[in-house]
Each structure stands twice: as structure tokens, then as C-alpha cells.
């Protein structure tokens, strides 16, 4: 789209303003350039002009959302913004269907488009560092930040995070992958230690971060609040130095989460480049004496600054303004992206009858009830909560689509009068919109597996009054549906659909768009059946005391709760398929208004271990309407010398087809597709022998399979 015309904002378009505008257009934002000897020399020259105290000053942020400036070397401050669902920090913005909703799209091309949109939105607000994406594993449905993360599977997460990051950074904005690492619960997040073996860490919880660094070349990483194996992430040598900066070769900026630093000397020595939002611990009072007594080497501080300066120079931020007048603060083009994300992510889980799609010509009355029907619930709570200019609620989306020819009744809860209950009973269709919101699903706390109080009863009352009930669910993952699922014909999961969610729900309900979202998480039947249930909370008997020094320089002790990841590799569908049990709805599942058939799987019978294996198959739309299928490829290793999950996702493709059309799919499997982490050998290995390639539309429905012998 074109930006707003400046003459409408500046009636007196002076020659001086024209010169300034020309200058800003000539220095438009750029994608980062590779490191070079010239950048290295410039960064080192900047450091050489600084005193020790000035160097230490630059290790901490300022004014909540900025890096610290240093006028003596011509260094301005650089701006940050919370992200994931929109560029949150600096006022109203475009609110997208991000996080788990992005994962529900299973669409890598859309992930790139979403990243580009967020990059443009960031530039329009003069933002340099976008604090996203969040890529932690949805180990449990209770985690309060699942909605802003992605899925339960590291391969799906990595496949979406890489193009997302590339999209953001193509717009001249540094993406920040977070939260490194194992930030898989929100309760007691400052004092909880994720205690996990290295194989589990390498196979489940680190691969998305690894892909962000080695494939997307992300320019910033944010450490998490929690401890990992007893050591806070911001001073964790294994995570920050051995793995991130060592094995993966990360060249960007490693920053703390806000107030997630607990020991300045330990953080400086163990990889943390930037303490945010201010230097509570990495300051001159703590670090200068440590340099003087030999605890900290000044060269270590220089290395932190080199990372900051190189990143800033790669983007050219020191030579040009970040603001680009070609990007609109209120972007009509990005509203279309927000709608696309909502349409692609909404998952149809149940459709008896089938009741859907509805015919708008036959709907003369509709009752829309429930707390999430109005106003719009675009996202969960906390630092990712984006405030949209004009969010569309489910109530307004349906009313807008039906127009004046239909009567629309609305109530946020169970009506308090018999006449209103007769309106529900007599409606052609009832939409019950329930779930969570920014107060009940948010950063800093975990949520319940059950719906908020009163919502189960609301659904039951609606179902008792009218058999044509559609339940729309707002949540970052699965919830307890046991009281009412068998009483309603339709269940739709909307996740947190962003500002265009109401429009998207209406278009899907009335058949203007095929429901093409697929589950990025398994839906447990009950919380006590979840694979993480036994291991989600620590045992008080295992608590330990962490002795450290507070920001006042005095000794300070923390009581550390140890969360033992006894579920190991058996997260989500890995558990269900290995145990031979069945969740309520499996990973990858989702209904459509059409049908699809898989055929013609071709896999080479033999291949050399470590080589790339090409798998091909066909997907045919056997129904009467256009639709999209997510073809999923799982690999099984029955001859492995160690215990492995029964199957693991290693490839997928979103295929859009007209009725009767067939799509030919090719998926290439690299060495990692067949590997596991051998902890004694400290490397990825492949056990030669039989592998099984499985193809289908969910973790439980893989109608095609073929054997492959790796030798």
C-alpha cells in the first residue's frame, strides 16, 4: 500500500521539509549486511575510545526500552518493543494472530509474511529491536505464555521461526528469539529450575533456538527468567557460552529478560551482553572492583560491546534513522495480513451433522452469547498484548456478515429473563464464545485447565435450550471439555486470533473460507492425563538454597524449586503415540469442509546414512469445495539402539487445492531427520537400520507408510 500523503498532514509543504524528506527516503531501512573487516575495525575503534566505566555503562539498558547512548563516540540509543502478537510497546498497532495461532497455520510462507509486517510496523515506530518471536515448547496446557509461543514440537517451531525471523530482519529490524531456554511454565519463574538431561534438552527444547541462530542468523537472543539445572539462564555457561556462542556460533546480542539478572559478575563472565531494562547488577559498582581484583577480564567486557556494536553497524543504525516514512503507522495492508493469519489458524474440531458451513440466506436469527463474544479478545496478557486500533469481535464479525436481514441477540452470559432465553431457544443458530482473556491467560502466572468459572454452565444452558450450538474457544491450548463436548455439534478453536478474529470466524462459519488450521498441540482429555502432569511442579523436599549477592551488595538467598523433567522426550504426541494411547484431539488434527486423499508415496528403499532422502507423495481434494490440507511426514526408528519416540514430525507441507485437483509434494529429509543426541559422544548420531516414513494429516492418521534402510 502507499503511505498517507504527507501534504494532507503538512499543508505548508516547504522546500526545507522536502529536503528533509528526500534525505530520509535516501536512507531507508536496510536488511543487515554480513560482518566484514570494515565493521570489525569500526567496532574496535569505538571501544578504544571508551574508559572502563563507559564500557560498563553500555552493558545495561536505559529508560525501560532502550540501549544506552554514548555521545562521545557518536552512539545514539536504540529502541526496543515487545512483540510476538504485534509491536506492542509504543501505542495502538496491528494485532496479529501470532504465537500458537501462527503454529496452527502450518504455513511457512505466511510466517515470512507476518515477520515482514511486524518489521514494517516496528520501523513505523522507530523500533530497532523487536522482542520476538517466542519459541518455547508447549510442554503443558497450563503454561501462561503458550499463546505467544508456538507448538509442542521443535520441528514445527523451527520451520516457522526461521522464515518469521528472516521476514522481520529483511525490514531492517533485529528479531530477538526468546526465552532461552526451557521457559515452559510461568509459576515461580524467577526461582524455578528446569532440571533436564542433555539429550532431552538437545532434542526437544533447544532445536528451535538452534535453527534461529544457524539458519535464520537471528541478531538477538533473550535469556529466560528461570534456572536451568540449578543455574539462572543469564549466567548459564552451558547455554550461553558452550552452546549458543560456541557450538552454534551466535554473533549477535544476548540480552536478559527484564529484571532477569541476578549476579552481575557471573552474568558478565558467562555470556550476557546486555542487562535489561537497566544495569541493576552489571554496573560500575559491581564490575569495576571485579576487574581490579581479576574476577572479570576487561577483554570480556570488550567482547560484549563488540557484539552490540557489530549488530548496530550491520544494520546501519548509526548512519540513518530507523523510521521509514514509507511505512504507515495505521496499515491497511497489514490488516489483510492479520485477517489472513486468523483465517489460516482457526481449527474446526467438531462438526456433527454437519452443521457447518451455515447458509447466510437461511439464517434469520442468531444468538451470540458468552464473555469472549464481545469485546474482541485479540491476545493473552502480559508483554505481548498488542492493543489494536479497531479489533473486530465475534459479535460484530457475524453481524457485519449477515447484515440487516438477520436479527442478532447478544448476552455476555446466561440471560436473566425468560424472554431472552426464548430468544436463544428460537434462534436459527447459537454461537457460544468462551475461553480465556488477558486477565485469565497471561505472562507471570499459569492458567487453569478448566474454563473460567461459569462458562461450562453457560454452554450447557445454551445446549439445553437449542440443539444448534456452535462453541468458539479462545485459549492458548487445550482445555477441559468433558462437561459439554458431547452436547454440542460444533467446536471451533480460535486461539487468540488478533484484531481480525471476528471477521475470520464469521467467514468460516458461513462457508466463505475453508477452516484450514491444524492443531499445533495435542488436546488432553483431562489435566491428569497430560504427559507433563506428574512432572509439572517441583517437590518441596527437593528445594535448594541459592546464595548470591543482591543489588545492594549484601548477601541474598533464594529458595529454588526444582522442576524435574521426568517426561523427558515424551512431550505431547510423542507420548501418546509411543504409549499407544489417544488424546481427545491429536497433534496436527483439524476438520475441513472438503475431503482429501493421500496416495503414491515414494521412498527410496535404501540410502546412505547422513545423505538427503527425498520423499514424494500426492494429495487430492476429493470433495466439492476448495480447501487446504496440511500433509505431515513422521519418521519412526524401530531399530534404534536407544529408546526413541514412536514417531517424530520431520516434514510438512500446506497444500491448497480446488475440487478434484491433485498436488504433488516433495519433502527432503536431512541427516538430522534420522538422528538423536548421543550424550556420551556429544554429537548427533544415526543408528543404521530400518526407518519408517509415515504420511498423513495428523500424528494419529498416517495412511501412507514405507520402509527405508539407512546403511
The three-class DSSP label of residue 541 is: helix
List residues bridging with 407 in a β-sheet. 365
Write the secondary structure of 351-381 as one string of H (helix), E (strand) and C (coil). Answer: ECCCCCCCCCCCCCEEEEECCCCCCCCCCCE
Nearest Cα to Cα of residue 645 among 629, 631, 634, 656: 634
564: buried, middle or exposed (CB in 10 Å: 19+, 13-18, 0-12)? middle
DSSP 54: H
Gyration radius (Cα) of the chain, Å: 26
Please identify which residue in the block is written with the cell numbers 444448534: 468
Q: Which set of grid coordinates corresponds to residue 67?
A: 540501549
Q: How many residues does the chain have?
A: 711
Place of cell 474454563: 451
Q: What distance in Å separates the CA atoms of residue 200 and residue 198, rounded to the nearest whole number?
A: 5
- Paired sense of beta strands 606-607 and 704-710, if any: parallel
| Cis ω for the linkage preceding 634 (within 30 of 0) | no
**Can you name the residues that pair with 75 across neighbouring β-strands?**
70
257 as an active site residue: the answer is yes
Tell me how far apart the alpha carbons of residues 599 and 618 are, in angstroms, rounded to a whole number. 5
Out of 153, 184, 219, 257, pick the active-site residue: 257
d(CA 111, CA 127): 20
Distance of CA 536 to the CA centre of its chain: 21
Q: Could you tell me the three cell numbers for 501?
A: 478474529
Residue with cell 536407544: 642
For residue 244 the three cell numbers come to: 549458543
Which DSSP string corresponds to 12-28? S--HHHHHHHHHHHHT-
| 37-48 helix and 298-314 helix, angle to the nearest 10 degrees | 130
> Residue 192: in which H helix or E strand, if any?
strand 192-195
Burial 37-59 (b: 16+ CB within 10 A, else e): eebeeebeebbeebeeebbbbbb
- Cα–Cα distance measured from residue 637 to residue 647, given in angstroms and rounded to the nearest whole number: 8
Q: How are beta strands 662-669 and 613-621 bridged, if at all?
A: antiparallel
Among candidate residues 392, 393, 381, the one with its CA nearest the CA of residue 475: 381
Q: For residue 236, which of 181, 293, 309 has the smallest C-alpha distance? A: 181
Distance between CA atoms of 672 and 611, rounded to whole angstroms? 10
Omega before 179 cis (within 30°)? yes
CB neighbour list of residue 69: distance below 8 Å, 6 or more residues apart: 62, 75, 76, 77
Q: Which residue has the cell 545495561?
A: 60
β-strand 689-696 against 627-636: which pairing, if any?
Answer: antiparallel
Q: What is the largest CA-CA distance in the chain?
A: 81
Neighbour-count burial of 346, counting CB atoms closer than 10 A to its CB (0-12 exposed, 13-18 middle, 19+ buried) = buried
Closest CA to 121 of 44, 173, 182: 173
Q: How far apart are CA 17 and CA 22, in angstroms?
A: 9
Tell me the catalytic residues: 257
Amino acid at each position: 500500500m502507499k503511505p498517507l500523503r504527507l501534504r494532507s498532514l503538512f499543508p505548508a509543504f516547504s522546500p526545507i521539509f522536502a529536503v528533509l524528506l528526500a534525505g530520509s527516503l535516501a536512507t531507508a531501512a536496510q536488511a543487515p549486511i554480513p560482518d566484514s573487516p570494515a565493521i570489525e575495525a569500526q567496532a574496535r575503534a569505538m571501544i578504544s575510545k571508551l574508559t572502563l566505566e563507559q564500557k560498563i555503562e553500555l552493558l545495561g539498558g536505559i529508560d525501560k526500552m532502550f540501549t544506552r547512548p554514548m555521545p562521545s563516540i557518536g552512539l545514539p540509543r536504540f529502541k526496543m518493543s515487545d512483540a510476538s502478537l504485534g509491536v506492542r510497546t509504543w501505542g495502538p498497532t496491528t494485532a496479529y494472530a501470532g504465537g500458537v495461532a501462527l503454529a496452527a497455520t502450518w504455513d511457512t510462507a505466511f510466517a515470512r509474511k507476518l515477520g515482514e509486517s511486524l518489521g514494517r510496523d516496528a520501523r513505523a515506530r522507530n523500533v530497532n529491536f523487536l522482542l520476538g518471536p517466542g519459541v518455547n515448547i508447549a510442554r503443558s496446557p497450563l503454561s501462561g505464555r503458550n499463546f505467544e509461543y508456538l507448538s509442542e514440537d521443535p520441528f514445527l517451531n523451527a520451520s516457522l521461526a526461521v522464515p518469521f525471523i528472516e521476514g522481520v530482519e529483511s525490514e531492517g529490524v533485529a528479531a530477538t528469539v526468546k526465552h532461552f531456554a526451557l521457559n515452559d511454565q510461568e509459576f515461580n519463574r524467577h526461582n524455578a529450575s528446569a532440571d533436564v538431561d542433555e539429550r532431552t534438552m538437545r532434542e526437544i527444547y533447544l532445536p528451535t533456538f538452534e535453527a534461529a541462530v544457524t539458519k535464520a542468523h537471528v541478531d538477538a537472543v533473550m535469556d529466560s527468567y528461570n534456572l536451568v539445572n540449578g543455574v539462572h539462564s543469564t549466567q548459564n555457561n552451558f547455554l550461553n557460552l558452550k552452546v549458543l556462542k560456541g557450538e552454534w556460533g551466535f554473533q549477535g546480542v544476548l540480552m536478559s529478560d527484564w529484571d532477569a539478572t541476578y549476579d552481575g559478575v557471573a552474568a558478565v563472565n558467562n555470556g550476557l551482553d546486555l542487562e535489561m531494562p537497566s544495569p541493576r547488577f552489571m554496573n560500575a559498582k559491581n564490575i569495576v572492583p571485579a576487574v581490579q581484583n581479576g574476577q572479570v577480564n576487561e577483554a570480556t567486557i570488550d567482547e560484549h560491546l563488540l557484539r552490540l556494536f557489530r549488530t548496530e553497524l550491520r544494520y546501519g543504525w548509526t548512519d540513518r534513522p530507523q523510521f521509514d516514512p514509507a511505512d504507515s503507522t495505521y496499515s491497511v495492508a497489514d490488516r489483510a495480513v492479520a485477517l489472513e493469519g486468523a483465517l489460516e489458524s482457526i481449527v474446526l474440531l467438531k462438526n456433527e451433522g454437519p452443521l457447518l458451513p451455515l447458509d447466510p440466506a437461511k439464517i434469520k436469527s442468531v444468538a451470540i452469547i458468552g464473555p469472549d463474544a464481545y469485546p474482541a479478545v485479540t491476545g493473552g496478557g502480559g508483554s505481548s498484548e498488542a492493543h489494536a486500533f479497531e479489533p473486530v469481535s465475534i459479535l460484530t464479525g457475524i453481524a457485519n456478515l449477515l447484515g440487516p436481514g438477520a436479527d442478532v441477540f447478544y448476552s455476555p452470559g446466561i440471560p436473566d429473563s425468560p424472554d431472552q432465553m426464548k430468544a436463544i431457544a428460537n434462534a436459527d443458530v447459537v454461537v457460544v464464545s468462551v475461553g480465556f482473556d488477558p486477565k485469565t491467560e497471561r505472562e507471570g502466572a499459569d492458567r487453569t485447565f478448566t474454563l473460567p468459572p461459569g462458562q461450562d454452565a453457560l454452554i450447557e444452558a445454551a445446549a439445553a435450550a437449542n440443539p444448534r450450538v456452535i462453541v468458539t474457544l479462545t485459549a492458548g491450548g487445550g482445555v477441559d471439555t468433558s462437561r459439554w463436548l458431547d452436547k454440542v455439534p460444533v467446536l471451533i478453536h480460535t486461539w487468540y486470533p488478533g484484531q481480525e478474529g471476528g471477521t475470520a470466524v464469521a467467514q468460516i462459519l458461513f462457508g466463505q473460507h475453508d477452516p484450514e488450521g491444524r492443531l499445533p498441540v495435542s488436546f488432553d482429555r483431562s489435566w491428569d492425563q497430560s504427559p507433563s502432569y506428574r512432572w509439572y511442579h517441583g517437590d518441596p523436599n527437593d528445594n535448594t538454597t541459592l546464595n548470591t549477592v543482591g543489588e545492594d551488595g549484601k548477601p541474598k538467598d533464594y529458595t529454588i524449586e526444582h522442576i524435574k523433567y521426568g517426561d523427558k522426550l515424551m512431550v505431547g504426541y510423542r507420548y501418546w503415540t509411543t504409549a499407544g494411547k489417544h488424546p481427545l484431539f491429536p497433534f496436527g488434527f483439524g476438520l475441513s469442509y472438503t475431503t482429501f486423499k493421500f496416495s503414491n508415496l515414494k521412498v527410496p528403499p535404501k540410502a546412505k546414512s547422513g545423505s538427503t532422502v527425498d520423499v514424494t507423495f500426492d494429495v487430492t481434494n476429493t470433495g466439492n469445495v476448495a480447501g487446504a490440507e496440511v500433509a505431515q511426514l513422521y519418521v519412526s526408528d524401530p531399530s534404534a539402539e536407544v529408546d526413541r519416540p514412536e514417531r517424530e514430525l520431520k516434514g510438512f507441507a500446506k497444500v491448497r487445492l480446488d475440487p478434484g485437483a491433485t498436488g504433488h509434494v516433495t519433502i527432503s529429509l536431512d541427516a538430522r531427520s534420522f538422528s538423536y543426541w548421543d550424550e556420551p559422544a556429544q554429537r548427533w548420531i544415526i543408528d543404521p537400520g530400518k526407518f519408517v516414513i509415515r504420511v498423513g494429516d495428523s500424528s494419529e492418521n498416517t495412511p501412507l507408510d514405507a520402509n527405508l534402510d539407512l546403511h
